[in-house]
Amino acid sequence: MPSENPFSWRFVAPMYMGSTLNPINSSMLATALVPIASFMHVSVAQTTILVTALYLASSIAQPTAGKLSAEFGPRRVFLTGIVMVLLGGLFGGFGRNLIMLIVSRILIGIGTSTAYPSAMLLIRRRAASVGMSKPPGNVLGALQIAGVITAAVGLPIGGLLVDAWGWRTIFLVNIPFALVAFIMAALWIPKDEAIVGATTVREISLRIDIMGILGFAATVSALMVFLFSLPSPHWTALILAVVLGGGLIWWELRTSHPFIDVRMLTSNLALTRTYARFSLITLCIYTVLYGVTEWISAARGTSALEAGLLILPMSVISAVVVGPVSKRNLVRGPLIVCAGSSIVASLGVMFLTANTSIVWILLITVVFGITMGTMASSNQTALYLQVTSDQIGTASGLLRTFGYVGSIASSALIGIVFHTRVSDSGLHHIAVIMTVISVIALIMTVADRGLKVVNKEPAGVAP
């Protein structure tokens, strides 16, 4: 049984460390694409498949890891994922060709994706075991800082590593962190209960809904092929995504253990709206992380490291914001602030030019830091309150998948607008789109009566 403090530092430390690996790996590679292309004798455009590989692997693996955690134990899934990160670091660090690097990114994407959904399940079960009726705000806030806010840190870290020791360190740096996370998890996370029930391959397949997982993977893959094809759209991929998505819904409505509980999404519209809000604001956040930094580098002639450092205040402010919001389990108010600050900052981007003062750019990133912090903490608390304990693993993984859809949509947006060249006018067009999206998010939030959930019990937890 848990001690006086059910969420001791030993219990949470491995989860926090594991949760930093995915977002940092997502953004860190951006600084290494040019040197990798030079070493591999390929174009920079070809190396972007390394970004796509991690996005695709992560978007599929996040909810899958949540499902597997619920069925076979979060500790087992977490440890397995860390081993995959270790292997991915080795493959990439000693890679001699682009194929090895792609395999590395897939392993890292899958491995790092196990941390967040398994952590959410561990936290929810620990809270229930001690009769905690409200979300453990401090714990969830720290998890959110580790799991989302650190994305902005990846750019300057990547720049430092590449400038100092070369592109291979982007991969090799995963090895020591994976080893430490594995040791901490093995020693400090309580062992899972013995697996009961399914014993044959067929029974296990039905229990985890392998057909649903494969259908989801195929649907997401087709959708991402379409998004990454922009501004020269592959309409066949979009049609395929729609057809596969329809087939996935048909299957999930008929299976006894659905991977994606479609009925839950249609009956629990509050949760569905949480996913939509998270995806919309994530699009704006990642447009700043990548679009504005790309513009800074092109328009002002700064290095990747300098551009990353200009974005760093965004991460710092967001981390400061997450604490008090999560501690109080606030939802509706911070989400209104989230959308409102995104509108203000997006309008600010409209006035950026190559001659704009650095102070103005920093001010905009600070406002976007408020957006990121309130988005991360409030949507996570909303999800915690909107699902039951047995749903939270898959549901939290699916939240991250919607985040990846938003980030990939932002990449598509940047690719369309900056297709021919990076310019002030292109940045202003992006700002207009971001403003419209932020207004939609604000309307969704203000009109959503289901967000008044503060002080309510989490779904499925007795008072």
**Rounded CA Rg of the chain:** 21
Q: How far apart are the first and last CA of the chain?
A: 20
Q: Per-residue pLDDT averaged across 19-25, rounded?
A: 86
How many C-beta atoms surround the C-beta of residue 356 within 10 A?
A: 16
Give mean pLDDT, residues 341-348.
95
Token pair listed for 174: 């995963």
Q: How confident is the model at residue 232 (pLDDT cuts 50, 70, 90)?
A: confident
Q: Are 376 and 148 in contact (CB under 8 A)?
A: yes
Asked if the structure places residue 4 within a domain, the reply is: no
Q: What is the pLDDT of residue 453?
A: 52
pLDDT band of 245, cuts 50, 70, 90? very high
Contact at 8 Å (CB) between 155 and 31? Answer: yes
Question: Could you tell me if residue 235 is inside a domain?
Answer: no
CB contact at 8 A, 2 and 130: yes
Lowest average pLDDT, out of 228-237, 342-351, 442-451, goes to 228-237
Considering its fold, how many domains does the chain have in total? 1
How far is the C-alpha of 49 from the C-alpha of 47, rounded, in Å?
5
Long-range contacts of the stretch 35-38 (C-beta < 8 A, 24+): 35/162, 35/166, 35/167, 36/101, 36/167
Contact 282, 289 (CB under 8 A): no
> Do the domain assignments include residue 462?
no
As a whole-number percent, the residues of the chain with pLDDT over 90 amount to 38
* DSSP category for residue 30: G
- pLDDT of 462 reads 38
Residue 231 pLDDT exceeds 60: yes
Domain holding 70, by residue range, is 9-209+255-451
| Average pLDDT score over the chain | 86
Q: What is the DSSP string of 232-292?
A: S--HHHHHHHHHHHHHHHHHHTT-SS-SS-HHHHHH-HHHHHHHHHHHHHHHHHHIIIIII
Element (H, E) at 119: helix 115-129
CATH number at residue 31: 1.20.1250.20
Q: What DSSP character marks residue 170?
A: H
Please work out, in degrees rounded to the nearest 5, the angle formed at the alpha carbon of residue 176 by the alpha carbons of 32 and 118.
Answer: 95
Q: Report yes or no on 237 lying in a domain.
A: no
The answer to whether residues 52 and 237 touch, using CB atoms and an 8 Å cutoff, is: no
Span 83-127, pLDDT tens digits = 999 999 999 999 889 999 999 999 999 999 999 999 999 999 999
C-beta of residue 118 within 8 angstroms of C-beta of residue 392 = no
Task: Specify if 153 maps to a domain.
Answer: yes
- Structure-token pair, residue 287: 């447009």
Short-list 58, 406, 66, CA closest to 209 = 66
pLDDT at 463 over 50: no
Helical H segments across 287-390, by residue range: 293-300, 304-327, 332-349, 358-386
Span 304-311, mean pLDDT?
Answer: 70
Is 360 domain-assigned? yes
- Reference 287, options 420, 140, 445, 406; nearest CA is 406
Rounded-to-integer distance, Cα 365 and Cα 14, Å: 30
pLDDT, residue 2, reads: 44
Distance CA(412)–CA(292), nearest Å, equals 14
pTM tops 0.75: yes
Q: Is 226 contained in some domain? A: no
Residue 25 forms part of a structural domain: yes
d(CA 241, CA 245): 6
Q: What is the pLDDT of residues 400-418, one digit of tens each?
A: 889 888 888 887 888 788 8
Q: Is 85 left (phi over 0), alpha (psi -120 to 50) or beta?
A: alpha
DSSP class of residue 134 equals S
